Each structure stands twice: as structure tokens, then as C-alpha cells.
Amino acid sequence: MKIERVGIIGAGQMGSGIAHVCALAGYDVLLNDVNAEALESATASISKNMDRQVSREKITAEDRDGALSRIATTGTLTDLGQCDLVVEAATERETVKDAIFKELVPALKPDTILTTNTSSISITRLASKTDRPEKFMGFHFMNPVPVMSLVELIRGIATDEETFAACMEVVDRLGKTAAIAEDFPAFIVNRILMPMINEAVYVLYEGVGNVKSIDKAMKLGTKHPMGPLELADFIGLDTCLSIMNVLHDGLADTKYRPCPLLTKYVEAGWLGRKTGRGFYDYRGDEPVPTR
């Protein structure tokens, strides 16, 4: 099937980034969120980020103007019913995603491809609760979407070849590269990345090093562009904890046990950059370690 109209659920950092790259690739985009302020913030952020791309000569002003004209927003989920492809990029909680699909599916065209940007949840299980498991896939973008070139494509047990081929075509049109992953907890990137972050939190928890020394060690010792605790704050500590819980529950291996300190930070509402505090405090001019 030919995909021309893309619906995106969730106007947060990931959803707005997906809208950004889809519009630049020539797709008509309909961005949905239950929060009107989130939609306003997303469109302002997309415009600002495209302005930055123009100033750096990554795109032309004409590219930007054309892309922005192709983005529409809606607070009504069922408005996405006429889209050819829907990408769900809501909160990383299975109950939330199930509720979204339950409301959306009856409004979809029979041939609409339904995908999820989940970073860890079973594609097969999510798909089984819809009317189109053969037209359901994992479409996992990396953050920040306009900058990162990778997309993980994950087939559920029922996903058909036509759906896979159509999603691969979208990845190519976006100018990105696909990594094909099997449907196991956290797929490839987060299966490797999150235990590393969790181990860094254990190193902090056990007093082996403080926040600053851990991040410095990994940046200078392994050439990582960002230390693991700084990266955790960027991703969101709630998301990190959610993925670790999926790994621990899904694989039943104690090596995936979330660090109690990670749980404590999430309980405190210190979720990283988005809340102003995590392993660093971002409320001043410069980030300050909180431990």
C-alpha cells in the first residue's frame, strides 16, 4: 500500500520528533494529543528545530515552510482514522497503549498500518488486542528523532510481509537506517543500553563513585558522548525504570533487577531533565550532581 498520510499519537519529545521528520520527508502529518498545550508546544518546538536546521544549512527555508504546512494537530484520537500509517508514541505504559488502541481501532481504515514506538513492550501482545495483528509493527525511533539515524523495526508473530515492506519503505523515505529486531523484551538497543545505565546507578548506589566521577569515567574511558547518568536524565528515569521492569519481568533474570536507587528517584518525581531534577539538578545555570 502507498503511505501518504501519517497519524502520530503523543506530542511529547518523541511524537513531535517523528512528526518533524515525516513532514520533511513529504508526508501529510496529523499529530494527536489529549493535551492542547502539548500540541502547541510540539508545533513550536518543531518550528524552532527546523529553523535551526535552516541556519545550519541542513535544509532550505522552502523545505521548512513546506514541511510545517503539512503538519496538522487534533485533540480527537479518532480523527486519525483516515491515516495510512499510525505511529503511537504515548507514555511507555502498556495499559495506556491498550486504551489508545481500543478507542482508535474502530475508526481506522481496513488497510491502515498501526505501529508503536514502544522501546520495550511486546509487539505481539499489543497487536493481539487490536483487530489487525498482521498490520501491526514496532516502529522504534531513537531520541532525538531528527538527529538519530536509526529506527528499530520489530515484527510481531503475526506481522505480514506487506506491512514490513511498507514500514521499511517509510524508513528509507525518512532517510534513516533500519535495524531489524526480534520481538523480545527491549529489542536490541535498550536490551544492551538499559542494563548499562542500571549498572551505573548501582555503582552510584554502592558508593563506588559519585555522579560526576561515573559520567566522567565513561565519557573519557570509553569515548561515550554522554555519561550513563546524564543519559538516563535525558531519556527520563521513569522510562529507564519501566524498561528495566519489562526486562526483569519478561526474562526472569536477576541481572535485570532495577537498582533500588533508580526506583527511589522515580518515587521522588526526580525524573531527569523533564522535571528539572534527576541525577543532576537542572534548575540553575549549570547542571549540578544530586549525589
Which positions are catalytic? 119, 140, 152, 190
Strand, coil or helix: 217: helix
How far is it, in rounded angstroms, from Cα 183 to Cα 156? 6
- 119 annotated ligand-binding residue: yes
How far is it, in rounded angstroms, from Cα 234 to Cα 232? 5
- 82 annotated ligand-binding residue: no
Helical segments of 70-208, H only:
94-104, 123-128, 161-173, 189-205
- 13 annotated ligand-binding residue: yes
- 49 annotated ligand-binding residue: no
Q: For the chain, give the longest Cα–Cα distance.
A: 56
- 219 annotated ligand-binding residue: no
How far is it, in rounded angstroms, from Cα 263 to Cα 83? 38
* Cis geometry, peptide bond prior to residue 260 (ω within 30 degrees of 0): no
How far is it, in rounded angstroms, from Cα 22 to Cα 145? 10
- 14 annotated ligand-binding residue: yes
- 143 annotated ligand-binding residue: yes
290 phi and psi angles, rounded to 5 deg: -95, -5
- 175 annotated ligand-binding residue: no
- 103 annotated ligand-binding residue: no
- 11 annotated ligand-binding residue: yes
- 183 annotated ligand-binding residue: no
How far is it, in rounded angstroms, from Cα 166 to Cα 178? 13
Binding residues for NAD(+): 10-15, 33, 92, 97, 119, 143, 274
What residues are designated binding site? Answer: 10-15, 33, 92, 97, 119, 143, 274
